[in-house]
Amino acid sequence: MKSKLLSIIIPTYNMAGLLPRCLDSLVSAKQADKLDVLVVNDGSKDNSLEVAQGYAWKYPTIVRVIDKPNGNYGSTINTALPVAEGLYVKVLDSDDWFDTAVLDNFVDSIKNINRCAGRGQDTGRSADRGQDTEYAPVPDMIVTHFTQIGATTREVYKYNTMGREPYEYGKVYALDEVLKDGYIRFFLMHALTYRTELLRQIGYKQTEGVSYTDTEWACYPTFYAKTICFLDLNLYQYNLDREGQTMAPEVLMKSVRQLQTVTDAMLAYYAAHKADLTEVRGKWMANYFINRLRILYKIYLLDMPRADFNPAELEQMDAKYAPICQQYGWRVRLYPENKLLRTEYISYWHKHHRRWPAWYERLNSSVDKVVKWLYVKLFRR
């Protein structure tokens, strides 16, 4: 077993004020010696590099610093992954942090899972001749919970369906068995950890020069991962309470073309690798991309302030993705999230080439808030 069990890649750009909180959550862990912390300074204009180097000087066996010219988020992952030393690898944004106590438990879980695992075997039996001991396979993917933290809210996200957690924690499943449920919502960067060698074997790369490429982290490895394990650990603390955060609505609305760039890259990957997919995985991936396109339409037709809405931009996007949907037999529909107001927004756009009236959008927004509040109370206690 490798001495470094977990590599943690931390992309950093102008985060000198928040980087210490992120790094303190790692180096203060009891099992920090099992961590390989890679801080990638992406051409910061503040003193992020000096902050990171200070930690590397103080914790030389734990923290390493890579300094590179600015290339945006994906370039930091592409730079760090080839030198990652951990058995597993996870991404942690520098304005977020891990729960330190949970991190220790996570490292223990990695130890235990791999101690029981067959030596690279998929047969479920010991690789040693003459032994008949049962072993679990090594998980290619590990899914943990995460907390989404807003200015006044904290929500714990688990892989569940309407409050039901369908998988046994700590058990290693064949990925196709899990993908049969078709549930894609919590395949997000914050929840996912990968076996490092898997990413190297598939030549994993993220798109460079744009933001929002963390979506690729949840997509490309799923084409080839064989096994998955769920752990009942709330590890990642996802901070949304920061001005300029990329997922802030005002930033997201201005960055929709970057979202399209990432979607285009993912669709190109799908076209090149879809022949390798099993039937189950093919159906799951189709739903994944339908959902991805639905998000783009939702930004234009529901989320974007009417004053900023440019019909010509949506027409251009629609013209790009409509032939792809027709080629693969995908039908993208957009209903209100609350499921009560049964309006299909994309069909309305195709018919009238305009958004729904403002009064309807206000009504939908109000109902969405009520239903979301009820859902949180019932299923995310």
Question: What domains sit in the chain, N to C, each tagged with a CATH number?
Answer: 6-243 (3.90.550.10), 252-379 (no CATH)
pTM exceeding the 0.75 threshold for the entire prediction: yes
Which helix (H) or strand (E) segment is 35 a member of? strand 35-42
Strand 141-149, strand 154-157: pairing: antiparallel
What's residue 366's pLDDT? 82
- pLDDT 10s digits, 229-262: 999 999 999 998 765 555 555 655 667 888 999 9
* Range in 97-111, 186-200, 276-290, 346-360 the model is least confident about: 346-360
Sign of CA dihedral 124, 128, 131, 135: negative
How far apart, in whole angstroms, are the C-alpha atoms of residue 231 and residue 167?
Answer: 10
The answer to whether 113 and 136 have CB atoms below 8 angstroms apart is yes
DSSP-based three-state secondary structure for 154: strand
What's residue 129's pLDDT? 34
Q: Give strand pairing partners of 36.
A: 7
For 283, 284, 310, 322, 328, the CA distances from 290, given in Å and listed in that order, are: 11, 10, 23, 11, 10
Helices then strands, counting H and E runs in the chain, come out as 13, 10
How far apart, in whole angstroms, are the C-alpha atoms of residue 13 and residue 73?
Answer: 9
Strand 227-239, strand 172-174: pairing: antiparallel
Q: Flag whether pLDDT at 97 surpasses 70.
A: yes
Q: Give strand pairing partners of 64.
A: 38
Residue with token string 């792809």: 324
Which helix (H) or strand (E) segment is 39 a member of? strand 35-42
